[in-house]
Chain A
Amino acid sequence: MTQFSRLAVLMRPIRREMLMGLALAVLASLANFGLLFLSGWLLAAAAVAGLGGIVAQNAFNIFLPAVGVRFFATVRILARYLERVVTHDATLRFIGRVRAWSFESLIPQAPAVLARQRSGDMLFRFVSDTDRMGQFYLEVMLPFAVAAICCAAYVVVTGLFSVSAALVLATSLLLCGTIIPLIAAKLSACATAQISLQQDIMHADLTEILQGMGEFMFLGAAGSVQEHIARQQTNIRVCRQKVLLLEGGARFLITLIGTLSAVAMLALATHAYHAGTLSAACLPMLALGGLAAFDVVGPLPAAWQLLGHVRVAAQRVFAVCDQPPCVPLPAVTASPVQPLDLCFCNLGMRYPEANYWALRHANLLIRQGEHVALVGPSGAGKSTLINLLFRFYDYQEGTASFGNVDLKNVDADTMSQHVGIVAQDFHLFLGSIRRNLMIARSNATEDEMWRALKIAQLAEFVRAEPAGLDTLVGEEGICLSGGQARRLAIAQVVLRAPAWIILDEPTEGLDAQTEQDLMAALLAALPPQATIMCITHNRKVAGLMDRIVRVAEGRFYEVGRAP
């Protein structure tokens, strides 16, 4: 049950709202019970008094119970409305908490956490899992708490009139609230697990199919992938049918037991009435109360079902969030000092779970202000350099320093103040070009933005768009072409004016002219003491640098130095 205690910890800051919601929910349910219970008594008592002749009629005070009935009715209306507002608000707050918390714990793990699993699948699942964890309060905790409190209250109230009837009520409420839903949940557990598993797989498969649609068509595989999805659907449907059948069965039993227990309570009350310990007016009241009491156990089978789902969701989220980051945070963060030279000495680095060294016995010195091209076959370790610098992954052998500080003593936040990177798999955020630039530097002025766009050779395009800087980039920059998206990523880094710039294939997807303009503008715009490192396959781009370093077999080789 550790998942639930951890959920409880996350709930702590909003416990007041949550308790308020619970109180309102309990109030609404009690008012409903009170309304029917009292109405039953009112009718029966009035009838008894009516039959009792004129004296009894005069002695009967109808005013008080009538006020009570109206009171319960009003409370029920108000409490229900407020309960809904408060509990939904608390739920949304809770989801926000879970998301902010989980995001915070994931950050030190990026990008390793994304590389570990089928990324699209994992992220989508993460979003729906946190959502489900957030539902825990509204859909699980609340029904259970309300049922527990109200059932106890109903049993006590009934017990005031007839202990045996109260026992019957308690037994059947217990049966309907716990045992039947538990058995149903147990029987359907396998099918439920199957459904969520299959749905995850289908989601990932659909993503794959849509992304590779053109290729699937021309591989003649369109028909077979559709059949594959159809088969998955059939599997899911069979499981769903089983779950629904069991749910229906549970509802059937609860209906049956609810009415039968009211009848049993009536029989016991009749017995007491004949024995003279109970008045006639109490019979209808207890029967009606018995029926009304079952309203609160109605949502419990669904809550039991959801409890399982929440546990699985919480397990998955906590499992991902609890992973230790690839690189532990330094005990004391040091700050690199001028000159910002990068020095690798006999460096050895291997990725977790990899069976080869990405870098081994590697030596490299890049002085501040140098322009260096990094070339070499793909997979030779060029991107590893970025991972090392930002402490995304650790090295195992040798020493590495940046600005006279051991890399082991810096973290990504420190590095990002000195080094700007245009990675190959950069991400553009939902929203406008302006928002993406603001993410790079929150205090950038409009002039600075235009200047950065101009250097990135994107100003012309943005100016031609009717919305200008507010042009939407779309999900994953879909509204921009590949080349435009990359240039926007370059503009982001230029805007930050870092001392070091590392560009991973900056001109990919650009034609020769734009490529030349971009590199020229970039070199002209940067201050002379700025370091540029270009990871590239493009000889022309490499030719613009002072030095060319080749990476091969996990080592750096000096290829040439420009005159």
Chain B
Amino acid sequence: MSVKVMMQSSGNKTLAGFTRRISFWLGASVLLGGVAAVLLVLQLTVFAQIVAGLAFQHHSLADEIPALKWLVFFLVTRALLQWAADMVAAQGSLRLISNLRSELLQHLFNVGPVGMAGHATGATVTALDAGLEGLEPYFTQYMPRAAMMVVLPFMILATVLHLDGWSFLILACTGPLIPVFMALVGYRAQAIMDRQWTQLLLLGSSFLDALQGMTSLRLLGRARDAVAAVADMADEYRCTTMSVMKVAFLTSAVLEFFASLSIALVAVVFGARLLEGKADFQSAFLVLLLAPEYFMPLRAFSASYHARQNATAAMAGISKLFALPAMAARHENQLLAETLVSVKCENLSAEYEANRPVLSNINCTFARGTLSLITGESGAGKTTLVRLLLGLLSPVTGRIVAEDAHGIAHRDWQSNIGWVPQRPCLVHGTVAENLRMASPQADIASLRNVARQADALSFIESLPQGFDTLIGERGTCLSGGQVQRLALARVLLRKPQILILDEPTAHLDPESERRVATAIAHVATHCIVIVIAHRGAIITHAQQVLRVHKGQVFSGPHLLEHAA
């Protein structure tokens, strides 16, 4: 992990922290919006003056030309400034979100697959994808509007105070009540939402689950019932959501109530005084124009209130990912120049939960030119041992030492490992693209070379377009054995000094199994090769067999029998 990433990871991963990172953009946006607000008040003042002039002072249109010019000036400038303010806020948040996505992805790579094991891929992708997008309205709408809520109403209040005491009193009294009521209702909505969040998530993902399990449902003869279940779950989701929303909508209703009430009050109170001749029309009309604008920022804020709730909800998933601890080992892209001759595990212990050791005090050596086999019952700790070797998991005690021919121990040796998991991941692309993931600049000759070593060349050449054949996600149009051999070829392209293979011959028929085993044995002559396997042809090629049993490692050829 580089120092730079460390710095970023330790940064403030909260909404407030993110807001601070784009404070320049948000500040600029609020400033532009503030000026626009001033211009709006001026525009309405001029408008009221024109209306009053035309209706009550017997002015002709020509008399109002200068005022009209001002009106258009204020209007155009204000609208332009508002446009600019929106763009600036959007710009800032778009930048922030793409940075966050890169940082989060980087962080997940630092966490590694073991740290990620408890997190479903779908949920993580959603956090990276829709989750981060969900933060955008918070920065583009909620934050600027929250700021505007402070600026514009005060400005209007000041103007109204200047115009009319009664109206000032009405607005000044109703205004502050709104945030109070909204907070009360919003608090309740949040509480309901928190309570039902898990249920909402579960119900929300149930449709995807049903789609993914469609084949299983047909095999179980439950497809018809599942249609009803999908409908039922959608209905349950609706009920749960509506119970949250009904409360949330009350927030807006409170606002609506005060806004409508104030306008009505202003109109009626002013009307009565105008009738008695105690007020002038221009002020009355201006107050009536200003009153909706007084509540407008509050309304806009309340409309974007769910942006905050969504962002808070999305943040829960995102910060959970950011909070995952990074692996201790470094996985740099550089290979060692020296040749490693052995990897030794010394007094190695590992555990996932405190005081429940999975491996205790393990000692073993893997030497160059030897094919070592790790075998044992499922759950005995084979995978844990491999994770320790890969550096995906840190040992509780003990250490792993990689030495070269001069007995010098090297750090960062783990980047020299080539690893093929049980189900290798082939990406959507051509055979060549899949191979080149290991070495983007590799020429076709080296691709053919590694393919030959992994016994993959013959089947690749028999594909319709050879190395340029498109293969699907997870290699859907290849057989299990072909996928394994392709993955082996790919890993060989990196020229790893250590090769770790997890059940390379599972899922394979005897013929493919034999071919894969022979290819691995061939590679083992100039490599440190470690293979996890239960059975099969690979065992006959093994020079060392380690049996993992109840957290201990036993070695010796007599164990072959059991393994076979």
Of A84-92, A137-145, A336-344, A400-408, the segment with at least 4 beta carbons within 8 Å of chain B is A84-92
* Bound form: Cα–Cα A496–B47 in Å: 78
Of B154-162, B270-278, B360-368, the segment with at least 4 beta carbons within 8 Å of chain A is B270-278
By the criterion CB–CB under 8 Å, are B218 and A66 in contact?
no
By the criterion CB–CB under 8 Å, are A390 and B218 in contact?
yes
Chain B 198-242, CB-CB to A under 8 Å as 1, else 0, gives 000010011111111111111111111111001100110110011
Check: A168 CB closer than 8 A to any chain B CB.
Answer: no
User: Shortest distance in angstroms between B341's beta carbon and chain A's nearest beta carbon?
Assistant: 20
Check: A537 CB closer than 8 A to any chain B CB.
Answer: yes
* Bound form: Cα–Cα A187–B489 in Å: 48
By the criterion CB–CB under 8 Å, are A509 and B378 in contact?
yes
By the criterion CB–CB under 8 Å, are B220 and A492 in contact?
yes
Chain B 40-51, CB-CB to A under 8 Å as 1, else 0, gives 000100010011
User: Shortest distance in angstroms between B302's beta carbon and chain A's nearest beta carbon?
Assistant: 12
Which residues does chain B contribute within 8 Å of A397, judged by CB atoms? Answer: none
By the criterion CB–CB under 8 Å, are A42 and B268 in contact?
yes
Which residues does chain A contribute within 8 Å of B496, judged by CB atoms? Answer: 218
A220 contact from B60, B71, B494, B506, Cβ within 8 A? B494
Which residues does chain A contribute within 8 Å of B246, judged by CB atoms? Answer: 85
A residues 161-196 touching B (CB-CB < 8 Å): none
Given known A-B contacts A219-B491, A256-B75, A274-B60, A416 and B218 have beta carbons under 8 A apart: yes
Given known A-B contacts A114-B214, A210-B124, A475-B123, A390 and B219 have beta carbons under 8 A apart: yes
By the criterion CB–CB under 8 Å, are B331 and A118 in contact?
no
Check: A251 CB closer than 8 A to any chain B CB.
Answer: yes
By the criterion CB–CB under 8 Å, are A96 and B425 in contact?
no
A107 contact from B72, B223, B480, B491, Cβ within 8 A? B223
Given known A-B contacts A92-B242, A210-B108, A213-B108, A107 and B217 have beta carbons under 8 A apart: yes
- Nearest chain A residue, comparing its CB with the CB of B278: A50
How many chain A residues touch B (CB < 8 A): the figure is: 157
* Bound form: Cα–Cα A221–B331 in Å: 11
User: Shortest distance in angstroms between A484's beta carbon and chain B's nearest beta carbon?
Assistant: 9
By the criterion CB–CB under 8 Å, are A92 and B263 in contact?
no
Given known A-B contacts A43-B270, A430-B209, A538-B535, A255 and B231 have beta carbons under 8 A apart: no
* Bound form: Cα–Cα A126–B214 in Å: 14
By the criterion CB–CB under 8 Å, are A220 and B333 in contact?
yes
Given known A-B contacts A89-B238, A509-B378, A478 and B211 have beta carbons under 8 A apart: no
Check: A505 CB closer than 8 A to any chain B CB.
Answer: yes
By the criterion CB–CB under 8 Å, are B215 and A114 in contact?
yes
User: Shortest distance in angstroms between B446's beta carbon and chain A's nearest beta carbon?
Assistant: 15
Check: B54 CB closer than 8 A to any chain A CB.
Answer: yes
By the criterion CB–CB under 8 Å, are A240 and B94 in contact?
yes
Check: B34 CB closer than 8 A to any chain A CB.
Answer: no
Which residues does chain B contribute within 8 Å of A388, judged by CB atoms? Answer: none
Chain A binding surface, main DSSP class: helix
By the criterion CB–CB under 8 Å, are B270 and A77 in contact?
no
User: Shortest distance in angstroms between A423's beta carbon and chain B's nearest beta carbon?
Assistant: 6
User: Shortest distance in angstroms between A80's beta carbon and chain B's nearest beta carbon?
Assistant: 5
By the criterion CB–CB under 8 Å, are B421 and A214 in contact?
yes
Which residues does chain B contribute within 8 Å of A124, judged by CB atoms? Answer: 122, 125, 208
Check: A211 CB closer than 8 A to any chain B CB.
Answer: yes
B331 contact from A222, A248, A512, Cβ within 8 A? A222
By the criterion CB–CB under 8 Å, are A66 and B102 in contact?
no
User: Shortest distance in angstroms between B305's beta carbon and chain A's nearest beta carbon?
Assistant: 13
A81 contact from B252, B333, B510, Cβ within 8 A? B252
* Bound form: Cα–Cα A167–B292 in Å: 26
Check: B168 CB closer than 8 A to any chain A CB.
Answer: no
Which residues does chain B contribute within 8 Å of A115, judged by CB atoms? Answer: 476
Chain B 463-507, CB-CB to A under 8 Å as 1, else 0, gives 000000000110010011100000100110010100000000011
User: Shortest distance in angstroms between B505's beta carbon and chain A's nearest beta carbon?
Assistant: 9
Of B83-91, B310-318, B522-530, B538-546, the segment with at least 4 beta carbons within 8 Å of chain A is B83-91
By the criterion CB–CB under 8 Å, are A92 and B102 in contact?
no
By the criterion CB–CB under 8 Å, are A263 and B71 in contact?
yes
By the criterion CB–CB under 8 Å, are A100 and B288 in contact?
no
User: Shortest distance in angstroms between B148's beta carbon and chain A's nearest beta carbon?
Assistant: 15
B residues 67-103 touching A (CB-CB < 8 Å): 68, 71-72, 75-76, 78-80, 82-83, 86-87, 90-91, 94-95, 98, 101-102
Of A201-209, A359-367, A447-455, A522-530, the segment with at least 4 beta carbons within 8 Å of chain B is A201-209
By the criterion CB–CB under 8 Å, are A39 and B102 in contact?
no
Residue among A73, A114, A287, A478 having the largest count of chain B Cβ atoms under 10 Å: A73
By the criterion CB–CB under 8 Å, are B98 and A81 in contact?
no
A residues 20-55 touching B (CB-CB < 8 Å): 35-36, 38-40, 42-44, 46-51
By the criterion CB–CB under 8 Å, are B418 and A218 in contact?
yes
Which residues does chain A contribute within 8 Å of B224, judged by CB atoms? Answer: 413
By the criterion CB–CB under 8 Å, are A483 and B227 in contact?
no
By the criterion CB–CB under 8 Å, are A42 and B331 in contact?
no
Check: B189 CB closer than 8 A to any chain A CB.
Answer: no
Check: A510 CB closer than 8 A to any chain B CB.
Answer: yes
Check: B376 CB closer than 8 A to any chain A CB.
Answer: yes
Given known A-B contacts A211-B121, A413-B223, A496-B220, A252 and B80 have beta carbons under 8 A apart: yes
Check: B328 CB closer than 8 A to any chain A CB.
Answer: no
By the criterion CB–CB under 8 Å, are B479 and A99 in contact?
no
- Nearest chain A residue, comparing its CB with the CB of B54: A270
By the criterion CB–CB under 8 Å, are B113 and A39 in contact?
no
Check: B412 CB closer than 8 A to any chain A CB.
Answer: no
- Nearest chain A residue, comparing its CB with the CB of B122: A475
B101 contact from A114, A214, A229, Cβ within 8 A? A229
Given known A-B contacts A47-B284, A241-B94, A377-B511, A213 and B116 have beta carbons under 8 A apart: yes
* Bound form: Cα–Cα A496–B217 in Å: 13
* Bound form: Cα–Cα A67–B276 in Å: 19
A residues 469-494 touching B (CB-CB < 8 Å): 474-476, 478, 481-483, 492
A210 contact from B125, B223, B237, B512, Cβ within 8 A? B125
By the criterion CB–CB under 8 Å, are B237 and A378 in contact?
no
B267 contact from A39, A212, A222, Cβ within 8 A? A39
B residues 412-469 touching A (CB-CB < 8 Å): 415, 417-422, 424-425, 427-428, 437-440
Of A2-10, A148-156, A230-238, A304-312, the segment with at least 4 beta carbons within 8 Å of chain B is A230-238
* Bound form: Cα–Cα A89–B562 in Å: 63
Which residues does chain B contribute within 8 Å of A84, judged by CB atoms? Answer: 245, 249, 252
Check: A429 CB closer than 8 A to any chain B CB.
Answer: yes
Which residues does chain B contribute within 8 Å of A77, judged by CB atoms? Answer: 253, 256-257, 260
Which residues does chain B contribute within 8 Å of A249, judged by CB atoms? Answer: 83
By the criterion CB–CB under 8 Å, are A483 and B378 in contact?
yes
Which residues does chain B contribute within 8 Å of A35, judged by CB atoms? Answer: 260, 263-264
* Bound form: Cα–Cα A104–B216 in Å: 15
By the criterion CB–CB under 8 Å, are A99 and B230 in contact?
yes
* Bound form: Cα–Cα A287–B55 in Å: 11
Check: B129 CB closer than 8 A to any chain A CB.
Answer: yes
* Bound form: Cα–Cα A114–B210 in Å: 13
Which residues does chain B contribute within 8 Å of A508, judged by CB atoms? Answer: 506-507
Check: B109 CB closer than 8 A to any chain A CB.
Answer: yes
By the criterion CB–CB under 8 Å, are B473 and A118 in contact?
yes
User: Shortest distance in angstroms between B192's beta carbon and chain A's nearest beta carbon?
Assistant: 15
By the criterion CB–CB under 8 Å, are B113 and A81 in contact?
no
Closest 6 CB pairs of A and B: A416-B221, A212-B425, A96-B234, A511-B377, A475-B120, A39-B267
17 inter-chain pairs at a CB distance below 8 angstroms, sorted by A residue, are: A39-B267, A49-B274, A70-B264, A97-B234, A100-B230, A211-B121, A212-B427, A214-B113, A216-B437, A220-B415, A224-B437, A226-B109, A256-B79, A377-B509, A425-B215, A492-B220, A513-B377
A-B contacts besides A69-B267, A241-B90, 6 pairs, CB < 8 Å:
A42-B267, A97-B231, A203-B125, A220-B333, A221-B438, A240-B90
